[in-house]
Amino acid sequence: MPGPDKKHLAAEAVQACDLWTRIFIRRKTGGQRLSLVKICAGVGGMWLLNAIFNFHTSVPFLGELGAKTHNDSTRYYAIAFLICALVQRYERRKEFKNGSDWHGQHQGISRFEALSRFMPREWVYRYLDPAAAFLIGYAVSHYLDLNGLGVCLMLSGLCLWITEALESETLDTHAWNMHNLGRDAEGFTGNGRTAKSQAAASGQIGRAHV
């Protein structure tokens, strides 16, 4: 029995991480992106980061190591994320049952969608959204001194950029494949017509000789 695809698992992990900010920076995220596995993995990841950044211990001869102060901002953010993700998941399932044709893997509608009037729409989703998430995380970490939450948001912004880049590449590959299939079909049709013309010409020549 073949084992799990490592690339697929890695992509799922990155998508679970990019949900940390996608859920707030975009509206109407596709229902399949809001699977319970990804939501629970996202909450678990943030709780783990919260524990890491609050780690504190005392080591003989070395003294106190780790966090100097305790802060649970990442845990509170995880709770807010969980509530918003479950609400959006419920909305997508309700829309699906009502016959909505909303795509399950839809990337969501950016809060900066209005800026697509001034720049290519692809730039808003592929660059602006991830950059906004990363910069907000940087500000939270350096100006509010919430290191755990800041790193969480910066990491999510990076994962959002990776997800958008991979999906854009997948769409480009699909478009090229469809283009190549069309060209191949045209070539096949053209070759068929040429063969028929040659056969007809041969028949006319044969009849002329007779």
In order along its 210 residues, the chain shows pLDDT tens digits of 455 577 778 888 888 899 999 999 998 888 888 989 999 999 999 999 998 888 865 566 655 656 677 888 999 999 999 999 999 999 988 888 887 766 778 888 999 999 989 999 999 999 999 999 999 999 999 999 888 899 999 999 999 999 999 888 877 676 677 767 766 666 655 554 444 444 444 444 333 333
List the end-to-end C-alpha distance of the chain, in Å, as a whole number: 68
Residue 140 lies in a domain: yes
User: What's residue 64's pLDDT?
Assistant: 63
Q: Which residues contact 133 (CB under 8 A, 6 or more apart)?
A: 21, 25, 153, 154, 156, 157, 160
Local structure of 60: helix, strand or coil: coil
Residue 78 lies in a domain: yes
User: What's residue 69's pLDDT?
Assistant: 78
Residue 208 lies in a domain: no
Q: Which domain holds residue 43?
A: 6-101+121-174
Identify which of 147, 155, 159, 157 has the alpha carbon closest to the alpha carbon of residue 74. Answer: 147
| Total number of domains in the chain | 1
Buried b (16+ CB within 10 A) or exposed e, 151-174: bbbbbbbbbbbbbbeebeeeeeee
User: What's residue 4's pLDDT?
Assistant: 58
Residue 197 lies in a domain: no
User: What's residue 137's pLDDT?
Assistant: 95
Residue 33 lies in a domain: yes
Residue 19 lies in a domain: yes
User: What's residue 6's pLDDT?
Assistant: 75
Residue 194 lies in a domain: no
Residue 190 lies in a domain: no
